[in-house]
Amino acid sequence: MNKLIIIGSGPAGLTAAIYASRGELKPLLFAGSKSGGQLMTTTKVENFPGFPKGVLGPKLMVDMITQAKNFGTEILNEDVTKVDFTGTEKKIYVGEKEYSSKAVIIATGASSRKLGIESEAKFWGKGVSTCATCDGAFYRDKIVAVIGGGDSAAEESGFLTKFASKVYLVVRKNVLKASKIMAERVLANPKIEVMYNSEVKSVLGGEVVKGLKIFNSQTNKESELVVDGMFLAIGHIPNTKFLKGQVDIDELGFIKVQEGLHTQTSVDGVFVAGDVHDHRYRQAITAAGMGCMAAIDAERWLNKN
């Protein structure tokens, strides 16, 4: 029987582990087969406090892992396949192997929706990104493309005009799905050019992105678009498949917290942290902050119970 099990090894899960282990909870953390979260696939991170010259994403996560281990966190690089929160003992399964705990923190994050084309993976972190807030400053006076037609795409496009000389908004349909006010802002911005009825067929370049091959469904023609970077803004998928209805989730699939109870889910003793709950900010620092909150909430819950 463990006091606390943490599921997830991004900034939220590892920060929770650091706090919990310093609190003598001796947490067991399931890092997954690919530990470290989304920052393991990024290059330079310049907006995480404490690194005036920036830090490589993988280095930041490896240091967090080391810090958690140094304070006594046990880390297993295993994927949780299902859970059972129906009893007072919370049961966690890796295949047929069962682990039990008094309290659980879910910090499994969310995966960015991708186009699913081969060249997208080739240039991931080399000009292909999902976070304008994180990477926009790297494209000062350059040309970029944002893929998507909803509010997120409109917001990312507007943000990128602070840095980029031009932003192409590549929209699959013949209209923007964004809310009226967001769409109006896009259309009024002289730096943004909307490409309707368009989709990316491939990403072009050598070591880094140099352009996109675009298919226009109205003309049935392909063309090459010269850009220095591509930002995906087609949504996120919360990593909650293994939960199978064990906790309440919202209409977008993200885990709900109980009103006034901060990080407490619908199940007593089960807490949530990071992007698996937060689909508004989606930043490493906000995920880490919520990991701290979840660890403190879990510790207080354990003391009370």
Chain centroid to CA 122: how far?
Answer: 19
Positions marked catalytic: 131, 134-135
Quick one: tokens of 58?
A: 């993988």
Q: What is the pLDDT of residues 73-123, one digit of tens each?
A: 999 999 999 999 999 999 999 999 999 999 999 999 988 889 999 999 899
- Contact between 12 and 109 (Cβ < 8 Å): yes
Spelled out in words, what is the top-level CATH class assigned to the domain 114-232? alpha beta
> Tell me, what's the pLDDT at 42?
73
Residues of the chain with CATH 3.50.50.60: 2-111+237-304, 114-232
Provide the pLDDT confidence category of residue 134 given band limits of 50, 70 and 90.
confident
Provide the pLDDT confidence category of residue 231 given band limits of 50, 70 and 90.
very high
Provide the pLDDT confidence category of residue 35 given band limits of 50, 70 and 90.
confident
Quick one: tokens of 124?
A: 């991931």
Sign of dihedral through CA atoms 15, 16, 18, 22?
A: positive
Quick one: tokens of 46?
A: 């310049």
CB atoms closer than 10 angstroms to residue 50: 6
* Phi, psi of 240, rounded to the nearest 5 degrees: -125, 10
Euclidean distance between CA atoms 1 and 154, whole angstroms: 48
CB atoms closer than 10 angstroms to residue 17: 33
Mean pLDDT of the chain: 94
| Whether residue 266 has pLDDT greater than 90 | yes
What is the average per-residue pLDDT within 48-59?
92
Smallest Cα–Cα separation from 20: which of 32, 33, 7?
7
> Tell me, what's the pLDDT at 73?
97
Q: What is the pLDDT of residues 184-228, one digit of tens each?
A: 999 999 999 999 999 999 999 999 999 999 999 999 999 999 999
C-alpha separations of 145 from 27, 130, 131, 154, 229 in Å:
43, 11, 12, 12, 6
> Tell me, what's the pLDDT at 238?
93
The CATH code that applies to domain 2-111+237-304 is 3.50.50.60
Euclidean distance between CA atoms 245 and 238, whole angstroms: 13
The whole-model pTM stands at 0.79
Q: What is the pLDDT of residues 10-21, one digit of tens each?
A: 999 999 999 999
